[in-house]
Amino acid sequence: MTSAEREIEILLTDPPECGRCGRGCLLSARVPHRWQNESGRDVVGLRQVVLCQVCDRGRPGADELMALFAVDGQVGLANMEAFGVLVDNWLDEAEQKAVDLDHLEREQELWRRGEL
């Protein structure tokens, strides 16, 4: 599903800090999110996703979007179409469809040691 098929809010000015490392982010997006609760009812809401230059490095969609900022510096009329495609690719990666249990376990261990 692309951003043209759903309403996504992109924040380029003063995006929040990364919840993973606490550093500033390049941008954030609020995307529709839904799941079913235990009773089988749909729960609909918004999920915020951030693009962090540190934590997201090495993910193809994030790297391509960060490259746009590195080369062009900002989003404008000249690169708006490319930006839209890159945002869609990044969000496809960032919106996890399932929990990464290995990643969760690593974060739990960091939390137990007081490092998170």
Q: How is the chain split into domains, by residue range? A: 3-112
Contact 27, 51 (CB under 8 A): yes
Q: What is the pLDDT of residue 67?
A: 93
The dihedrals phi and psi of 95, each to the nearest 5 degrees, come to -85, 95
- pTM more than 0.85: no
Distance between CA atoms of 27 and 15, rounded to whole angstroms?
A: 5
pLDDT of amino acid 96: 67
Q: Is residue 4 over pLDDT 70?
A: no
Give residue-wise pLDDT tens across range 32-69.
Answer: 887 788 898 888 888 888 999 999 999 899 999 999 88
Query: What pLDDT score does 97 carry?
Result: 57
Biggest CA-to-CA distance, the chain: 49
Average pLDDT, the chain: 85
Rounded to whole angstroms, the Cα distance separating 5 from 7 reads 7
Find the distance separating the first CA and the last CA of the chain, reported in whole Å: 33
How far is residue 54's CA from residue 25's CA, in Å, rounded to a whole number? 9
Where on the phi/psi map is residue 26: left (φ > 0), alpha (ψ -120 to 50), or beta?
Answer: alpha
More confidently predicted of 33 and 116: 33
Q: How many other CB atoms sit within 10 Å of the CB of residue 51?
A: 24
